[in-house]
Amino acid sequence: MSDAPRWFEQAPPEIQSRPRDQAPAESLWVRCPGCKGVLYKEALAAHGQVCPDCGWHHPIGAAERLALLVDEGSFVRFDAALRPADPLAFVDSKPYGARIREAQAKAGEGDAWIGGTARIDGLPVHIGSFNFAFMAGSMGSVVGEAITRLFERATAAREPAIVISASGGARMQEGVLSLMQMARTCAALGRLRDEARMPYISVLTHPTTGGVAASFAMLGDLILAEPRALIGFAGPRVIEQTIGSALPDGFQTSEYLLAHGMVDRITPRHALRPTLSSALRMLLGRP
């Protein structure tokens, strides 16, 4: 018999434990829904959360999105101290107050909106973005109030406004108080146009639905949309169940809405800042 040791007689190798400060593999990588490739999270973040291989637009936080669009150091936030209340004492599977506290802990924000003033290539704007991480970017009384104030500040300053939408719609836990925000925001937007004669640019991202899609999101003087975003009032499954028939391919996507004249342009995330800059100069008559 050979003197060489046989593998099955050898002791198994000692299992090495992962150092406490070493992150697990799943926290470093993400699979792209578009091309199914595995992407390094840091590289994806450096690319604006857009897949460098297929262009799939991954979700992005409100603060991160604003940082990609405005001049560095120019953003001044307003209304950050506003917090939602529970006027209806609403309870479904858990109290609304508990849902608010959970969402605030998860998102690190008071509600589903970040807005303020900033500059884009030197041009002053009033700009805000929905935070989808907070209860699916739903619009309650606080979000509606903050957007109304943004339009009112823009009117007083006679400066343009930009809203980036990413929302599941009106927040059902606040009932009619949430639905009222559709009218309030649109009324304030009307004053921006009638009194200040200033433009409003609406940016639609995935998803823009419900009461947000049915109000100010679709009222822009210029409506831009990210590729493949879901945009519409009710979801496709609800519509199919209501009308009893299948919907066309690509229904309620950015591309479908562009083909049917509902949006003006599909703009990839990396091109949004220069597009906003040139659009503002055109709408304002600036060189």
Query: What pLDDT does residue 238 have?
Result: 86
Q: Give 276's contacts (C-beta < 8 A, 6+ positions apart).
A: 69, 120, 162, 201, 203, 224
Query: What is the rounded distance in angstroms from the CA atom of residue 49 to the CA atom of residue 273?
Result: 15
**pLDDT at site 237:** 85
What pLDDT score was predicted for residue 7? Answer: 45
Hey, what are 254's tokens? Answer: 């950015």
Helix extents (H) in the chain: 41-46, 62-69, 96-107, 141-157, 175-194, 210-213, 236-243, 254-259, 269-284
- Tens digits of residue pLDDT in 9-58: 555 555 555 555 555 556 899 999 999 999 999 999 999 999 999 999 99
Q: What is the pLDDT of residue 64?
A: 96
Residue 17 burial (10 A CB sphere; 0-12, 13-18, 19+)? exposed
pLDDT of 111: 98
Q: Which helix (H) or strand (E) holds 123?
A: strand 123-130
pLDDT of the residue at 265: 98
CA distances from 266 to 169, 214, 272 (A): 21, 19, 9
Q: What is the pTM of this model?
A: 0.89
Angle between helices 175-194 and 141-157 (to 10 degrees): 10
What pLDDT shows up at residue 161? 98
Contacts of residue 27, Cβ cutoff 8 Å, sequence gap at least 6: 41
pLDDT below 50 — which residues of the chain? Answer: 1, 5, 7-8
- Domains present along the chain, CATH in parentheses: 22-58 (no CATH), 59-284 (3.90.226.10)
DSSP string, 46-74: HTTTB-TTT--B----HHHHHHHHSPTT-
Residue 14: predicted pLDDT: 54
Residues 69, 120 contacting (CB under 8 angstroms): yes
